[in-house]
Amino acid sequence: MISQLKHARRRGPALAVALIGPDGAGKTTVTRLVAETLPVPSRTIYMGVNLESSTLMLPTTRLILMAKRARGGRPDLTVSAHEDAAAQQRSLGERGARSAKSAVRMTSWVAEEWFRQAVASYAQWRGEVVIFDRHFFCDYYAYDIVRRHGPRPLSARVHGSLLARAYPRPDLVVYLDAPADVLHARKQEGTLEFLEQRRQDYLSLADVFEQFVVIDAARPADVVASEVADVITGHLPPLTDHRRDHEGTTEIGAAT
C-alpha cells in the first residue's frame, strides 16, 4: 500500500499544511521528520521571517540579506512594532525617510511572501502535499492582522490587510504546543511571559481555521512527528494512481 501511495496523486491541488508554534516547539525538526514519514509526495517550505533559515527566496531578497549582513543588521525584512512611537521623536525629514524605507522594505517582504506561496501553489498543482514550516498568516496574526498587542505602524496595517484579504491560507493548521518553561529550556530565548503570550496568540487561531489541530510538542520530536503525520494522512482526500494504462486511472484501494 505504501508503495502505491508513493506513486499517487490527488485529484486536483493537494493539501497545504502549516506547522506552527512558538520558538522551541520543534517546528523545523518535526517538519523534516513528517516529510520523511508521509507515504505521499510532499514539499516542505519555510514560511518564517528569518532569511538565514530559508533556502527559498527571491534574488532581490538575497541581495538585501547580503547587504544587511555586511552592515551587521538583522536577517529579516520586518518592521518594528514600535516604529510609530519612535517616529514621534524624529524630525519631519527623518520621519519621511523612515517611512520611505519602511515602504520599500514592506514591498520587498510582500513580494517574498507571494513568491514562496507561488512555489507552494505549483507544488500543490503537481499533487504534492505542501508542509509549511511556520506560516506568515499565523505568525503575523496577533500583530499585523488583529490588534492584540497595541497600535500598529502603517506598514503593519497594510501588511495585515493583505494577509487577511488576499493571501491564501493553509487547508490544515497543526499547532505544536508546549508549556512556556519547556519552550524556554529548549532554546533559552525570550521570557516565560513572552512565550506564554505567544502560546495564547497561536491558540486564538482555533477561531480562525476550521481545521486546527493541537499537538503536544513537549514529547520527543519523533513521537510528535509520527502523530502529525497521522493527522495529515487523516485529512488527505482520496488519491489516484498517476500510472495510467489504456483503461484509465486506477483508484488506490480499488479491486485489481
The pLDDT score that the predictor gives to residue 154 is: 82
List all residues 6 or more positions away from 128 whose beta carbon is below 8 Å from its beta carbon.
14, 40, 41, 42, 43
Q: Is the pLDDT of residue 246 over 70?
A: no
Q: What is the topology classification, in CATH, of domain 2-56+121-241?
A: Rossmann fold (3.40.50)
Are the C-beta atoms of residues 231 and 37 closer than 8 Å to each other? no
pLDDT in tens, 158-177: 899 999 999 999 999 999 99
| pTM (2 d.p.) | 0.80
Is residue 38's pLDDT more than 70? yes
- Contact call for residues 30 and 36 (beta carbons, < 8 A): no
Question: How far is residue 115's CA from residue 152's CA, in Å, rounded to a whole number?
Answer: 25
Of 154-163, 197-206, 218-227, the one with minimum mean pLDDT is: 154-163
User: At 5, is the pLDDT very low, low, confident or very high (cuts 50, 70, 90)?
Assistant: very low
Residue 218 has pLDDT above 50, yes or no: yes
Q: Under a CB-based contact definition with an 8 Å cutoff, are residues 136 and 173 in contact? A: no
Which set of grid coordinates corresponds to residue 179? Answer: 508549556
| Whole-number Å distance between alpha carbons of 72 and 57 | 20
Mean pLDDT across the chain, nearest whole number? 82
End-to-end CA distance of the chain, in Å? Answer: 13
User: 171 near 228, Cβ under 8 Å?
Assistant: no
Are the beta carbons of 146 and 201 closer than 8 angstroms?
A: no
Tell me which residue of 131, 100, 94, 99 sits closest to 16, measured CA to CA: 131
Instruction: Tell me what percent of the residues of the chain surpass a pLDDT of 70.
Output: 77
- Neighbour tally for 219: CB within 10 Å: 13
Closest-CA residue to 74 (of 100, 44, 109): 109
Taking 60 as the threshold, does the pLDDT of residue 149 lie above it?
A: yes
Q: What is the pLDDT of residues 13-32, one digit of tens each?
A: 589 999 999 999 999 999 99
Helix, coil or strand: residue 201: helix
